[in-house]
Amino acid sequence: MGYGITLHVKGEYALFTRPELKGERVSYDVITPSAARGILEAILWRPPLKWVIDQITVLNPIEFEPIRRNEVGSKISPRNVSAAMAGTAVDLHQNPVEDRQQRASLVLRNVEYLLDAHFTILKDKAGENDTPEKFYNMFLRRARQGQCFHRPYLGCREFAAHFRLMEEDEKRPVSYYAGESERDLGWMLQDLEYKQETANKKQLYSYTPYFFRASMKHGIIQIPQEVKL
């Protein structure tokens, strides 16, 4: 564990979509470990790095707001792209007027979290010089200067996240829920396990979701570590 970090993240809006409510998106009450990992990876990630979220501190009151937007109903079909590339005349454009869906999102407002995390090094992907010290210091340097690989976001890219490194001796902000002994947040997505396999000379992609029972005690959610990921 030695190389733990604490990141202070905040934003005006956030949408951590519940997988069971994806059509008209409804956010979880708090950030998921998966989304938190995405924020850390936006700052620093290399193939041998695996970020693990240890705990999430919810600093602000949990507030929701509905937003409805015009959206496009379908995705690009890779089959059509291949056909176009092979020279067949297919139309690759999307027409948002004909393919329109008005979809509401129930988003979170004014979120602020402390993310406590550490990383492990995947031995089989690590090179000779890939020491934990190196990555740790790279992360600290980037986070202190506000550097990022790409702008991190709170669930969706339109909801940008601002981040700041919490130094070890820094006083941690107090959660709005510090006085609340326990709140059950129900089953939450912990993370997705992505797999890529070759079977019968075909590339197969799969992902498996893992869930955990989230419980917020005094504003702090402990993330279980024993889940296989």
Partner 1 sequence: MENMLKNRYDFILYYDVENGNPNGDPDAGNMPRIDPQTGYGIVSDVCLKRKVRNYALYAREGQEGFDIYVSEGAVLNNKQREAYEATGLKTKDNKDDKLTAQAYMCQRFFDVRTFGAVMDTGDFKCGQVRGPVQLCFSKSADRIFQQEVTITRMASTTEKENATENRTMGRKYLVPYGLYRAEGFISPKFAQKTGFDENDLAFFFEALQNMFELDRSASRGKMSARKLIVFKHESELGNAPAAALFDLVEAKLINPGQPPRAYREYEITLDKASVPEGVEVLELL
Nearest to partner 1 of 181, 194 (CB atom): 194
Nearest to partner 1 of 67, 178 (CB atom): 67
Bin 96: left if φ > 0, else alpha if -120 < ψ < 50, else beta.
alpha
Nearest to partner 1 of 141, 213 (CB atom): 141
Strand, coil or helix: 148: coil
Tell the smallest beta-carbon distance from residue 27 to partner 1 (Å). Answer: 15
| Maximal CA-CA distance, the chain | 65
User: Which residue is it, tokens 């139309």?
Assistant: 91
Tell the smallest beta-carbon distance from residue 74 to partner 1 (Å). Answer: 7
Q: Identify whether the C-beta of residue 39 lies closer than 8 Å to the C-beta of residue 59.
A: no
Question: Which positions lie near partner 1, rule CB under 8 A?
Answer: 12-13, 63, 65-72, 74-79, 81-82, 84-87, 89, 91-97, 102, 104, 109, 142, 145-151, 153, 157-160, 162-164, 201-203, 205
Tell the smallest beta-carbon distance from residue 31 to partner 1 (Å). Answer: 18
What is the CB neighbour count within 10 angstroms for residue 229?
A: 15
Tell the smallest beta-carbon distance from residue 196 to partner 1 (Å). Answer: 10
Taking the C-alpha atoms of residue 225 and residue 229, their distance in angstroms, rounded to an integer, is 9
Nearest to partner 1 of 129, 203 (CB atom): 203
